Amino acid sequence: MNNILEIFTRKNRLLLKAMVSTDFKLRYQQSFLGYIWSILKPLLLFTIMYMVFVRFLKFGADVPHFSVGLLLGIILWNFFNETTTGGMMSIVGHGDLLRKIHFSKYVVVIASSMSAMINFGINFVVVIIFAVINGVHPTWSWILILPIVLELYLLALGIAFFLSAVYVNLRDLNPIWEVLMQAGFYATPIIYPISLIASKAGAYGPLIAKLDLILNPMAQIVQDARHVMIAPENPTIWEWVSNPFIAAWPVVFSGLIFIGGLWYFTVKSDYFAELV
């Protein structure tokens, strides 16, 4: 805990600010559209998903404003993907800096996550505009998106800490993680509503849907976000599981992942400069 508090020293704060600014500026350097790609990438992906799964396959036809929910799910997943993947390679990518300057190594991973958060903020504004255009009325429940995003951030950052420490020794982790992320995307109710699993997976459909929400924190995060931002008709784990301790497990699990990832990173961080 004392080590991570070093992040808040003046030197580390300045370094964090410089790294976030540099990373974001270099992201689309020499690109014709530049920062516009921060908005275009999720919108293009949304367009493809919307045409295939909503218009053609009729997913979410019975869910209010499912197109808005689809866009929201995509930007939540993109943030998770960007934070974990970028964080995984952040230590190795800043090897020269680690060997030359003494500073808290947490800063490198956090800087990568903050850059992803800037992208998320830009995309979230687009979601709000799209939601209002599609007839979603702003309510006080929108404030509840803040703890949901905080849970998402801690989950992604904890995984990023763990992956970055493992990647120092295991460079094959990158393609492995890409495959896992692809599988995770389809295991999370983003392009389909959770109600589709409950109704189309046979007699065990409701049980499978509940297990997805309990064991997959991203499923719980996406569903909660849709519930508070778009339509209360979107079911959440709090409605499907009567036991409050079991319903709270995905949130607890996210916190444990953050603590575990941070602990593992702390144990391995002393050897980073020698290995990268």
What are the C-alpha distances in Å from 76 to residues 3, 33, 69, 123, 231? 29, 23, 11, 9, 17
pLDDT of residue 134: 87
pLDDT of the chain, 276 residues: tens digit per residue: 555 555 556 667 777 777 777 776 666 665 555 566 667 777 777 888 778 777 776 776 677 888 888 999 999 999 999 999 999 998 888 777 777 777 778 888 998 898 889 889 988 998 998 899 888 888 888 999 999 999 999 999 999 999 999 999 888 899 999 999 999 999 999 988 888 887 776 677 788 888 889 999 999 999 999 999 998 888 888 888 888 899 999 999 999 999 999 999 998 887 776 766
pLDDT of residue 212: 87
Q: Do the beta carbons of residue 224 and residue 236 sit within 8 Å? A: yes
pLDDT of residue 166: 93
Tell the burial category of 55 from Cβ atoms under 10 Å away from its Cβ (0-12, 13-18, 19+): exposed
pLDDT of residue 44: 79
Please give the single-letter amino acid code of residue 256. L
Residue of 3, 4, 159 whose CA lies nearest to 81: 159
249 Cα distance to chain centroid: 18
30-54 b/e (C-beta count within 10 Å ≥ 16 → b)? eeeeeeeebeeebeebbeebbeebb
Please give the single-letter amino acid code of residue 233. E
**What gap in Å lies between CA 171 and CA 263, rounded to an integer?**
21
pLDDT of residue 201: 66
pLDDT of residue 16: 77
Whether this model's pTM surpasses 0.85: yes
**What gap in Å lies between CA 198 and CA 217, rounded to an integer?**
18
Element (H, E) at 188: none
What residue ranges do the domains of the chain occupy? 2-275
